[in-house]
Amino acid sequence: MFPFIRHHKRAPDVRSDVVDFGGHGYEGINLASQDYLGLARHPEVIAAAVDACMAQGTHSAGSEPMGGGLAEAQLLEAELADFLRVPHVVLFPTGWGAGYGAIKALVRPYDHILIDALAHDCLQHGARSSGATVIPFAHNDVVSLERRLRRIQGRPVPGGVLVVTESLFSMDSDHPDFETLGETCRAHGAQLLVDCAHDLGVLGPSGRGVLAESGTLGKVDILVGSFSKTFACLGGFVATRSRAASYYVRGFGGTHTFSNYLMPAQIAAVRASLRIVRSDEGERLRREALRKAALLREALEPELEVMGRLSPVVLATIGSEATARLAQRECLRRGVIVNSIEFPACRRGQARFRLQASPRHADSDLQTAASIIVDSVSDVVALSRGNSCRDTVACTDRSGRAG
Ligand SMILES: Cc1ncc(COP(=O)(O)O)c(C=O)c1O
């Protein structure tokens, strides 16, 4: 019943062949890839990566301080800075490393961090390892944040205050009201760090994300992002208006400073993805990605509660972990590859399916997938009615089928 860890036999695509942790193979409609705009299969992105490998090989010489930086990466930093309308960008080997490294580099033990209770693992780890006083506030709740800011202001605080959140929480498809959040931070002299891993490139005007939707993109002090979703590659970045902060992040963000630099093919693939994101084609792909996500939501919604706002991530509420695990396995058997999310990625008893449609999915596949998901969940619920969860799991394991 272990729902995590699957390997693709071939390239992950809208239909995939996977093998699970127990060695069982499944084939079907794949709703478990974070390639939000389908750029991982885009000929220009692939050609850029191949050309970079042929011209420059597969390696960067070392970490940036040890001379591993690449001239082409400076172009990517400048292009991202222009896209984000922020002057300074630092690249990281992963988005996780960017979130962790930014906080670790900029915060000291005498500072305070106020962090959304559901913020991503990289942000939580960065906050804890900074040694600062870390205070969680209720998810997306600016009133809860302000109460804590007032409490801190009532005490003699030697250092600064950093507020940490995300511009699209991928396990809930929601975000705070950034106008009010920004005003609250400014009113209390706090700095704001936002992780835009899931919305940059796919949501907002010209793909500039949820912050641009609310007109607050240029007002965030530290922006953290990832290339592993819309940008169809691997890597991350920190963007800031402050030159000093960018130098600190380069020098003290351990995940940048002490890791080998991104390889040429990554830089080239991300640059190609960014060019597409900024083009008319990018605009069309965003519209199509959201149309597919809306189609999937509508097909699920009569039977399952779908969480949050329209975004590339569609979250169908399941509830009990036992039901989610059984239903996920049924989906795999019936030809739909889905991710089942449970604690610690969300609260206990609030398991959910996390689904991602890309512009490349056929409408008919999404309709088919939605009805398989709904049937799988309702079959498992019917089976477990009258049984305890333990009985349900045991019965399903013995028979090899959930019904
Ligand atoms: C908010 C957030 N930040 C960072 C990351 C990590 O990004 P990466 O895969 O580039 O390490 C994720 C991954 O899902 C994420 O959701």
Q: Over the stretch 8-39, which tens digit does the pLDDT of each residue have?
A: 988 888 999 999 998 999 999 999 999 999 99
Point out the domain boundary residue: 246, 277, 308. 277
Longest dimension (CA), the chain: 65
Q: Ligand 1 in contact with 93 (CB < 6 A)?
A: no
Could you tell which of 4, 36, 123, 226 is best to mutate to test the pocket of ligand 1, judged by most ligand atoms within 8 Å of the CB?
A: 226
Could you tell which of 196, 228, 339 is best to mutate to test the pocket of ligand 1, judged by most ligand atoms within 8 Å of the CB?
A: 228
Instruction: Let me know whether 187 and 315 are in one domain.
Output: no
pLDDT confidence of 386, banded at 50, 70, 90? low
pLDDT confidence of 4, banded at 50, 70, 90? confident
For the beta carbon of residue 190, count every other beta carbon within 10 angstroms: 20
Q: Ligand 1 in contact with 95 (CB < 6 A)?
A: yes
Give 379 Cα–ligand 1 centroid separation in angstroms: 33
The residue whose CA has the least distance to atom 14 of ligand 1 is 197
Which CATH number covers residue 199? 3.40.640.10
Domain count, the chain: 2
Instruction: Let me know whether 332 and 257 are in one domain.
Output: no
Point out the domain boundary residue: 256, 277, 298. 277
pLDDT at 398 over 60: no
Q: Residue 364's domain spans which residues?
A: 6-30+280-399
Atom of ligand 1 nearest to the CA of 234: 10
pLDDT confidence of 305, banded at 50, 70, 90? very high
pLDDT tens, residue by residue, 92-133: 999 999 999 999 999 999 999 999 999 999 999 999 999 999
Instruction: Let me know whether 229 and 284 are in one domain.
Output: no
CA distances from 131 to 105, 111, 255, 258, 300 (A): 11, 8, 17, 20, 44
Atom of ligand 1 nearest to the CA of 119: 1
Q: Ligand 1 in contact with 166 (CB < 6 A)?
A: yes
3-state DSSP call for residue 379?
A: helix
Residue 250's closest CA among 126, 88, 110, 120?
Answer: 88
Point out the domain boundary residue: 277, 308, 340. 277
Q: What pTM was estimated for this model as a whole?
A: 0.93
pLDDT tens, residue by residue, 194-225: 999 999 999 999 999 999 999 999 899 999 99
Give 122 Cα–ligand 1 centroid separation in angstroms: 7
